[in-house]
Structure 1
């Protein structure tokens, strides 16, 4: 069994804005779990890596873009737990700090054109169909085992919250939270903030992962700021304000959009007074490296 012990505290944010609206906001600090196997990436890799070890696999094969937190997390996890790693990178061959870190953790990188990248199972089969050592991990860690790891967030909480928010890319973390809330029957309203334009597809993805209608899930589709990894000046200014006033670092791709949405919904009074809100900080702060010019 691989040792996935970690510590992730809940921390209340004492901002005057929240006090003015009489809402208490807490953060599940999954960003503190590990500097590179960060946040929900740690949770989403936990059970796939245990399954790979159980099956006697020695190489993790996965997928991501050039600034992928998931690629970096998998590379580091491979180094930590004794797997070789192989990453298919979407797009043209480039060199950047995140990919350099992947290589430092001894991940082999293979750049593929965007059309070929669409069919990840086919890519895996072309290169590893005859390999008994390779273990497939989908982009972003998406899958049932990954959702199982995210379900454990709800087991660790020290209190019950009226609302729980998370950022959504593949929908895996949202699905895991939904399954956990459903099991505990705690009545928490679950909110997802898709970071891609047209994020309503997240509903279909979480159904595939076993989430039906037992949990009150609300998707907030208007906080993508133009699409995945897109920004606007108001988002950058919010991130600066939030980081300066809380000392909690967030970034423009996922957590910046997440906290912006929470802030905005509280300001619109869509979160009732006297409510308690939990925001799951999913880590991935190395994403800042590709966007420092925005600041």
Structure 2
């Protein structure tokens, strides 16, 4: 049985730009869910872990880069709910604070070259194909069950919103939010900010999970700043200014790009006056540990 009470309030934030453009901006503070199983990580893991427990699986096997928030969340969740965990790490062997935390939570790490890493199902079959107790969790937690967990965010909202913004990596969170809006029959517009260059694949990733794109769905492709975990001085400056001005910590890989996109769209008058906006803080703040030299 998985029991986990969490806290994720909606917090209004203030900025001169919001007042100038006559909008109200709120943040869904999923970063407060847990120090390590934070943000959308718990939402994406909730149902896969329940399925693993139901089917008597004992070893969670998943994938990520050397600074992966998902690896750390899975490691912590495994320790919390009584699973062994195994993480395949993309690239050469490295030693960093996030991987040390994974190890502290009991995760066994295997480093694989980037070519082998591309076929995650094959990696799983090679190493765990004969292990009936092993349970596959895709990179970033991407799955139909992950989208189901993320869809529940919509039912938690205490206010109606005209627009919801979220950063996108694999597309599972965006898929879940769109599913939640469709199930609730809301007209709220969903704005997705892919953090990878060439983020058009997100549309296919969402439809592959069985969710139909509709008029609620909007994608903004121009805020990746060069690609995944890539930054530019203007993004770093924005993260510093936003964090100092709001007291809410964001980072340059996901949430920084999302908030930057909002400010840019407001400055371009692409959002009408009088609108109520919600931005989903997807957590992942331990990723800052690998980027502190940029600040």
Q: TM-score range by the shorter chain?
A: over 0.9
2:220 matched residue in structure 1:
220
In the TM superposition, what is the alpha-carbon distance from 1:237 to its structure 2 partner? 0.3
Which whole-Å CA distance do the structure 2 matches of 1:213 and 1:198 have between them? 18
- Deviation per CA, 1:42-66: give whole Å up to 9, x if none: 1000000000000000110000000
2:5 matched residue in structure 1:
5
SS of alignment partner, residue 87 of structure 1: strand
1:184 to 2:189 alignment:
no
Indicate conservation of the 8 Å contact 1:243/1:249, yes or no. yes
1:230 to 2:230 alignment:
yes
Which whole-Å CA distance do the structure 1 matches of 2:35 and 2:215 have between them? 32
SS of alignment partner, residue 223 of structure 1: coil
Backbone CA RMSD of aligned residues: 0.7
- Deviation per CA, 1:155-212: give whole Å up to 9, x if none: 0000110000000000000000000001111210001000000001100000011211
Which whole-Å CA distance do the structure 1 matches of 2:283 and 2:246 have between them? 16
In the TM superposition, what is the alpha-carbon distance from 1:17 to its structure 2 partner? 1.3
1:100 matched residue in structure 2:
100
Indicate conservation of the 8 Å contact 1:178/1:215, yes or no. no
The equivalences for 1:134-283 within 5 A come to 134-283=134-283
1:42 to 2:46 alignment:
no
Q: Which runs of 5+ in 2 are unaligned?
A: none
Indicate conservation of the 8 Å contact 1:182/1:214, yes or no. no
Q: In structure 2, do the counterparts of structure 1 residues 214 and 220 end up closer, same or farther at CA, with 3 Å as the change threshold?
A: closer
In the TM superposition, what is the alpha-carbon distance from 1:101 to its structure 2 partner? 0.3
TM-score relative to the length of structure 2: 0.99
- Deviation per CA, 1:214-255: give whole Å up to 9, x if none: 451010000000000000000000000000000000001000
Which whole-Å CA distance do the structure 2 matches of 1:5 and 1:142 have between them? 23
In the TM superposition, what is the alpha-carbon distance from 1:72 to its structure 2 partner? 0.3
Which whole-Å CA distance do the structure 2 matches of 1:238 and 1:269 have between them? 19
Q: Which runs of 5+ in 1 are unaligned?
A: none
Indicate conservation of the 8 Å contact 1:57/1:132, yes or no. yes
SS of alignment partner, residue 199 of structure 1: coil
Indicate conservation of the 8 Å contact 1:92/1:111, yes or no. yes
- Deviation per CA, 1:79-108: give whole Å up to 9, x if none: 000000000000000100000000000100
2:109 matched residue in structure 1:
109
* Runs of 4+ displaced beyond 6 Å: none
